[in-house]
Amino acid sequence: SFEVELAKSGVVLTVAEDQGLLEVIEPHCDIMTSCEDGFCGTCETQVLAGVPEHHDTILSEKEREAGKTMMVCVGRCQSSRLVLDL
Ligand code: FES
């Protein structure tokens, strides 16, 4: 599991192994989504801290490595806490 902090509200949530990041954060922020499968780009979100784990098909290899943005509908986290600009 990992923690996700929503920077605009300061809310901190835990994402369990069997949960998706989007399902956990959606009730607590105004994230816009469309495909919910990592290919449309609607849910692209700035990553303020933490190491995102990318599962989308949009970002380039460079963008993945930079880790400054992610598609939260399919992404997860490789560090213990992810801080999102939400
Ligand atoms: Fe389409 Fe996330 S909702 S990439």
Digit-coded pLDDT (tens) for 20-78 = 999 999 999 999 999 999 999 999 999 999 999 999 999 999 999 999 999 999 999 99
pLDDT at 2: 98
Q: Are 86 and 11 in contact (CB under 8 A)?
A: no
Is the predicted ipTM greater than 0.85, yes or no? yes
Q: What is the mean pLDDT of residues 3-24?
A: 98
Select from 30, 36, 54 the residue to mutate for testing ligand 1; criterion: most ligand atoms less than 8 Å from CB.
Answer: 36
Q: What is the Cα–Cα distance from 52 to 14, expressed in whole angstroms? A: 15
Select from 21, 73, 76, 86 the residue to mutate for testing ligand 1; criterion: most ligand atoms less than 8 Å from CB.
Answer: 73
What's the CA angle centered on 46, arms 42 and 48, to 5 degrees? 160
Q: Is the dihedral of CA 74, 60, 5, 76 positive or negative?
A: positive
Closest CA to 30 of 13, 43, 20: 43
- 57 CA distance to ligand 1 middle (Å): 10
Q: Using 50, 70 and 90 to split pLDDT, how confident is the model at 4? A: very high
Q: Does any ligand 1 atom lie closer than 6 A to the CB of residue 26?
A: no
pLDDT at 47: 98
pTM above threshold 0.80 = yes
